[in-house]
């Protein structure tokens, strides 16, 4: 309990508290918790008819999800998402740093620039990427005219329907989620700490690693999670940009629910992803502690 | 005395704003030098140019005769104690103090020994394992000090070192700072807007105003022999009377104060033409109060002919401050005068009351004559 007197604190007023909490809590239970519970129950079920599932309490679906084929896809999803996250960090940190050191008037426009892609539908943005990456796309056309000008032979780069395209798509979509929390952390940092470091004999590079990065660690940790978790469950990027060999776990799950009509197995695979996400979230405090205790 | 720092015609502008305007100044080795002035006078900019955080628009800065105008901060033989302390929040006290030595590549064992020695200098050896958020403001200040002195700089820069502390602690640290400077023998350059701090600590002060130096002198000279009304007014408080010199001999001078229908007598010549306007500056504690009720004649002042250095007035306000009382006296001309009387005995303050008619008087040596 807070030290505030009970009668002045609105959270002490049960009626007001329930009236405010009620609608969002009801919404959450009805549209999030309940469907999720149904899917969780399905993951312990068996198909008994074309549209009928018996909740038999079986672990067979999970056993199948742990088969090398599916574990391999899960591992590959983690790998692709992790690589995309790492690229986001390497690209996003300098961007966040540049924005936080920009003139105050410029800062707001740069931040709007970072968020601009959100104003367009994800599907449209992904199709636009196809136009950029395909064999006759913008990248290859540009490279072809460059090669032409230099008199070099040119064969179009194969990007679309490869893992590279998937990673490009994931980085593109998730970069703002990396930049914004790091920017917030850098913006809070006391600039005189940098001057103090220079004053004490450190160069700019050492100041970066000894002062700036450790102090931005909470923002970096938040950015890593905000990028890794949604990237892991990505569906559109591997579906549209990837080839048959760049399927991620979300694409496999979708097939179980639709073409294979095996809801119990799809549910079990879905929950494998949920459990994995929980595990990553549990790692967060560890990450934060390591960053703070440097 | 050996010169350690030399500013040669330094100017600095930020956009259209001229923050420092053609400042030339030398600071000697071992001095505790204060840059004093109101906020925005350019004193902090001057200090930051010495530290290397700003580059002068014009002019050169030398330390030990070497031009360091464009040397980056990490290659200068100076260290700074920041106003906000800027203690690294993710490092312990000891790690903070070791940081500068680590950057210089000092071996671990020597580093630790020197850091502990510096912490002992600021009486913080017991707290070396603490994190900054477990320290009070005064302790963080000491960490910042230890972190700077551990590098044994040629010059220690202090940016408003005591301004963020409460009054009691400020006084305590003031003595410690001057004690520390005595022990270390390092040249200190301090920026402050607090005249008491500057007078108490500095061996020499530069008073700045709008980017220029007004006067560079010892604290006592600044107070007793200010060069201008601005300096007289900024260092302590002062009563000013406008007038003209009407007699100027080698052993005395007379100044006519037309607004007050009175004349002032000085015990020395001033060497000023009779045509220019001068200002007579008298410090509040150098003004005497005498009773004027029931036709009491003006007091006789030792060393001053009768009729000089006396004005009639009425007490308008009394502020009792314990050790002294401050009187606000309305002169017959309408000008207000500030008079400070020490409360030397326990019944002394009963002596004068509100709205009491008084004579104000000062000695022939009490006033300074200012030309600007």
Tens-digit pLDDT profile for residues B81-136: 999 999 999 999 999 999 999 999 999 999 999 999 999 988 898 999 999 999 99
Cβ-based contacts of A206 with chain B (< 8 Å): 103
Which of A162 and A186 is assigned the larger pLDDT? A186
The answer to whether A200 contacts B74, with C-beta atoms less than 8 Å apart, is: yes
B237-370 sits in which CATH class? Answer: mainly beta
The residue of chain A nearest to residue B87, with distances taken between CA atoms, is A193
- Where along chain B do the CATH 2.40.50.140 domains lie? 237-370
Measure the CA–CA gap between B371 and A283, rounded to whole angstroms: 74
Measure the CA–CA gap between A190 and A215, rounded to whole angstroms: 10
Asked if residue B132 lies in contact with residue B147, where contact means CB atoms within 8 angstroms, the answer is no
CA distances from A19 to A1, A7, A24, B258, B269 (A): 20, 17, 10, 79, 86
Of chain A, the percentage scoring pLDDT greater than 90 comes to 35
Of chain B, the percentage scoring pLDDT greater than 90 comes to 51
The answer to whether B104 contacts A201, with C-beta atoms less than 8 Å apart, is: yes
- Where along chain B do the CATH 3.40.50.300 domains lie? 3-233
The answer to whether B100 contacts A203, with C-beta atoms less than 8 Å apart, is: no
Q: pLDDT-derived band of residue A1, with 50, 70 and 90 as boundaries? A: very low
Q: How far is A188 from chain B (nearest CA, A)?
A: 13
Q: For position A53, what pLDDT does the model report?
A: 80
Which of A216 and B345 is assigned the larger pLDDT? A216
Of chain B, the percentage scoring pLDDT greater than 70 comes to 99
Asked if residue B225 lies in contact with residue B215, where contact means CB atoms within 8 angstroms, the answer is no
Note the pLDDT tens digit of each residue in B162-198: 887 888 888 888 888 888 898 888 999 999 998 888 8
Instruction: Please name each of the domains of chain A with its CATH number.
Output: 60-292 (1.10.3720.10)
Q: For position A30, what pLDDT does the model report?
A: 92
Nearest to B281 by CA among B222, B368, B362: B368
The answer to whether A200 contacts B103, with C-beta atoms less than 8 Å apart, is: yes
Measure the CA–CA gap between A230 and A235, rounded to whole angstroms: 10
ipTM of the complex: 0.83
Angle at which helices A122-133 and A163-188 cross, to 10°: 120
Q: How far is B87 from chain A (nearest CA, A)?
A: 7
Cβ-based contacts of B73 with chain A (< 8 Å): 195, 198-199
In chain A, which residues touch B (CB < 8 A)?
190, 192-193, 195-203, 206, 210-211, 214-215, 292-294
The answer to whether B74 contacts A203, with C-beta atoms less than 8 Å apart, is: yes
Note the pLDDT tens digit of each residue in B36-78: 998 889 999 999 999 999 999 999 999 999 999 999 999 999 9
Note the pLDDT tens digit of each residue in A278-294: 888 888 777 666 554 43
Q: How far is B93 from chain A (nearest CA, A)?
A: 14
Cβ-based contacts of B72 with chain A (< 8 Å): 198
Q: How far is A104 from chain B (nearest CA, A)?
A: 16
Which of A249 and B1 is assigned the larger pLDDT? A249
Note the pLDDT tens digit of each residue in A69-96: 888 888 888 899 999 999 999 999 999 9
Cβ-based contacts of B52 with chain A (< 8 Å): 198-199
Q: How far is B11 from chain A (nearest CA, A)?
A: 22
Cβ-based contacts of A294 with chain B (< 8 Å): 90
The residue of chain A nearest to residue B86, with distances taken between CA atoms, is A193
What is the b/e burial string over A141-155, where b = at least 16 CB atoms within 10 angstroms of the residue's CB?
eeeeeeeeeeeeeee
Measure the CA–CA gap between B172 and B200, rounded to whole angstroms: 12
Count other C-beta atoms under 10 Å from residue B136's C-beta.
Answer: 10
Asked if residue B314 lies in contact with residue B356, where contact means CB atoms within 8 angstroms, the answer is yes
Note the pLDDT tens digit of each residue in A17-31: 888 888 999 999 999
Q: For position A2, what pLDDT does the model report?
A: 46
Q: For position B372, what pLDDT does the model report?
A: 79
Q: For position A293, what pLDDT does the model report?
A: 44
The answer to whether B74 contacts A192, with C-beta atoms less than 8 Å apart, is: no
How open is the CA angle A186-A192-A195, to the nearest 5 degrees? 105
Query: Could you tell me where the beta strands, DSSP code E, fall in B95-252?
Result: 155-159, 187-192, 204-209, 212-217, 239-248
Q: For position A289, what pLDDT does the model report?
A: 64
The answer to whether A195 contacts B147, with C-beta atoms less than 8 Å apart, is: no
Query: Could you tell me where the beta strands, DSSP code E, fall in chain A?
Result: 46-47, 53-54
Measure the CA–CA gap between B282 and B233, rounded to whole angstroms: 11
Note the pLDDT tens digit of each residue in B134-164: 999 889 999 999 999 999 999 999 999 888 7
Q: For position B5, what pLDDT does the model report?
A: 94
Which of the 8 DSSP states describes residue B298? P
The answer to whether B99 contacts A215, with C-beta atoms less than 8 Å apart, is: no
Nearest-by-Cβ selection for A193 from B73, B80, B86? B86
The residue of chain A nearest to residue B79, with distances taken between CA atoms, is A199
Nearest-by-Cβ selection for A215 from B80, B84, B90? B90
**What CATH architecture does domain B3-233 belong to?**
3-Layer(aba) Sandwich (3.40)
Judged by phi (left if over 0) then psi (alpha if -120 to 50, else beta), residue B328 lies in: beta
Ranking A7-16, A132-141, B110-119, B262-271 by mean pLDDT, the lowest is: A7-16
Q: For position B111, what pLDDT does the model report?
A: 95
| Rg, Å, chain A Cα set | 24
Angle at which helices B167-184 and B108-121 cross, to 10°: 130
Measure the CA–CA gap between B96 and B304, rounded to whole angstroms: 62
What phi and psi, each to the nearest 5 degrees, are found at residue B19? Answer: -80, -40
Q: For position B163, what pLDDT does the model report?
A: 82
Q: Number of A:B CB contacts under 8 A?
A: 60
Q: How far is A55 from chain B (nearest CA, A)?
A: 53
Q: Which residues, other chains included, contact A242 with Cβ-Cβ below 8 Å and sequence gap of 6+?
A: A161, A162, A163, A165, A166, A248
Cβ-based contacts of B53 with chain A (< 8 Å): 195, 198
Ranking A10-14, A167-171, B149-153, B274-278 by mean pLDDT, the lowest is: A10-14
Which of the 8 DSSP states describes residue A238? H
Cβ-based contacts of A210 with chain B (< 8 Å): 99
């Amino acid at each position: 309990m807070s030290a505030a007197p009970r009668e002045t604190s609105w959270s002490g007023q049960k009626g007001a508290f329930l009236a405010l909490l009620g609608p969002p809590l009801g919404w959450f239970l009805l549209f999030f918790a309940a469907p999720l519970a149904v899917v969780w129950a399905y993951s312990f079920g068996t198909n008994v008819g074309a549209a009928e599932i018996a909740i038999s309490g079986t672990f067979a679906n999970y056993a199948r999800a742990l088969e090398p084929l599916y574990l391999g896809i899960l591992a590959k999803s983690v790998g692709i998402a992790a690589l995309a996250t790492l690229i986001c960090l390497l690209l996003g940190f300098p961007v966040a740093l540049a924005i936080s050191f920009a003139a105050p008037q410029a800062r707001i426009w740069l931040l709007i620039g970072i968020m601009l892609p959100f104003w367009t539908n994800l599907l449209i943005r992904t199709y636009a990427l196809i136009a950029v990456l395909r064999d006759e796309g913008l990248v290859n056309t540009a490279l072809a005219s460059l090669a032409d000008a230099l008199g070099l032979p040119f064969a179009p780069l194969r990007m679309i329907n490869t893992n590279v395209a998937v990673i490009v798509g994931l980085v593109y979509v998730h970069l703002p989620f990396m930049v914004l929390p790091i920017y917030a952390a850098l913006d809070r940092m006391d600039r005189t700490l940098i001057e103090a470091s220079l004053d004490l004999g450190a160069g700019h590079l050492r100041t970066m690693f000894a002062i700036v990065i450790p102090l931005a660690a909470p923002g970096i940790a938040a950015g890593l999670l905000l990028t890794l978790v949604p990237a892991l469950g990505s569906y559109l990027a591997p579906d549209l940009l990837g080839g048959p060999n760049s399927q991620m776990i979300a694409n496999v799950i979708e097939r179980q629910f639709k073409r294979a009509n095996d809801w119990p197995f799809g549910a079990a695979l879905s929950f494998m992803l949920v459990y994995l996400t929980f595990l990553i979230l549990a790692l967060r405090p560890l990450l934060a502690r390591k960053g703070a205790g440097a | 005395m050996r010169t350690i720092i030399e500013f040669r015609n330094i100017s600095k502008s930020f956009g259209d704003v001229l923050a420092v305007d053609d400042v030339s100044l030398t600071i000697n080795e071992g001095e505790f030098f204060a840059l004093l002035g109101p906020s925005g006078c350019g004193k902090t900019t001057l200090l930051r140019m010495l530290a290397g955080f700003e580059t002068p628009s014009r002019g050169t800065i030398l330390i030990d005769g070497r031009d360091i105008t464009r040397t980056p901060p990490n290659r200068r033989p100076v260290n700074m104690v920041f106003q906000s302390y800027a203690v690294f929040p993710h490092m312990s006290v000891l790690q903070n103090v070791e940081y500068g030595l680590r950057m210089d590549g000092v071996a671990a064992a020597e580093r630790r020994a020197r850091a502990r020695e510096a912490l002992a200098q600021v009486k913080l050896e017991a707290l070396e394992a603490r994190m900054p958020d477990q320290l009070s403001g005064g302790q963080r200040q000491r960490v910042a000090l230890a972190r700077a002195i551990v590098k044994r700089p040629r010059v220690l820069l202090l940016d408003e070192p005591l301004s963020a502390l409460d009054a009691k602690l400020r006084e305590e640290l003031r003595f410690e700072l001057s004690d520390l400077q005595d022990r270390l023998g390092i040249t200190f350059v301090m920026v402050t807007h607090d005249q008491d701090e500057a007078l108490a600590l500095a061996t020499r002060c530069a008073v700045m105003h709008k980017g220029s130096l007004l006067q560079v002198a010892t604290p006592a000279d600044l107070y007793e022999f200010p060069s201008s009304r601005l300096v007289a007014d900024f260092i302590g408080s002062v009563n000013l009377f406008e007038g003209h010199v009407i007699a100027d001999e080698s052993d005395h001078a007379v100044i006519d104060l037309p607004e007050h229908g009175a004349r002032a007598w000085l015990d020395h010549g001033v060497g000023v033409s009779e045509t220019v306007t001068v200002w007579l500056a008298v410090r509040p504690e150098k003004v005497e109060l005498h009773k004027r009720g029931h036709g009491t004649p003006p007091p006789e002042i030792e060393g001053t002919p009768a009729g000089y250095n006396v004005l009639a007035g009425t007490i308008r306000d009394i502020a009792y401050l314990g050790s002294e009382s401050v009187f606000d006296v309305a002169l017959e001309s309408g000008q207000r005068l500030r008079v400070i009387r020490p409360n030397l005995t326990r019944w002394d303050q009963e002596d004068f009351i509100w709205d009491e008619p008084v004579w104000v008087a000062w000695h022939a040596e009490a006033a300074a004559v200012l030309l600007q």
